[in-house]
């Protein structure tokens, strides 16, 4: 009968030093800190962008109108607003 403790010990000894090597790698930290959260947030940001462009709510329309309100007061400031204010 094979020794269960012996097979567990050999599997653990193969993993010795992996943590120090992994956490000391700049590639790991780049992926863990920047890449993983960015990839996780990407679907939500794409959904929100399409929702605001294709089916804006009344709140979205009012926010755009409020942010470009100064355009209706003076034609000189219309050049300074980079947003599309066709509300």
Residue 63 is predicted with a pLDDT of 87
Alpha-carbon 86 to chain mean position: 29
In a domain, 61, yes or no: yes
Structural domain including 1 reads: 1-42
Cα separation, 72 vs 70, whole angstroms: 5
Domain count, the chain: 2
List strand residue ranges (DSSP E) for 1-87, in order: none
In a domain, 4, yes or no: yes
Residue 66 is predicted with a pLDDT of 83
36 and 61 together in one domain = no
Give the predicted TM-score (pTM) of the model. Answer: 0.48
13 and 38 together in one domain = yes
Cα separation, 74 vs 68, whole angstroms: 11
In a domain, 47, yes or no: no
Residue 48 is predicted with a pLDDT of 92
65 and 30 together in one domain = no
71 and 37 together in one domain = no
pLDDT digits (tens, 9 = 90+) for 33-63: 889 999 999 999 999 999 989 999 999 889 8
Tell me the C-alpha to C-alpha distance, in Å, between residue 35 and each of 19, 26, 42, 49, 66.
Answer: 20, 12, 11, 20, 35
């Amino acid at each position: 009968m094979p020794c269960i403790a012996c097979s567990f010990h050999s599997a653990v000894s193969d993993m010795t030093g992996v943590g120090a090597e992994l956490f000391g790698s700049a590639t790991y930290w780049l992926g863990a800190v920047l890449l993983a959260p960015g990839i996780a947030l990407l679907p939500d940001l794409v959904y929100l962008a399409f929702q605001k462009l294709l089916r804006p709510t009344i709140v979205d329309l009012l926010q755009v109108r409020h942010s470009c309100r100064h355009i209706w007061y003076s034609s000189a400031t219309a050049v300074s607003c980079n947003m599309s204010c066709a509300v």
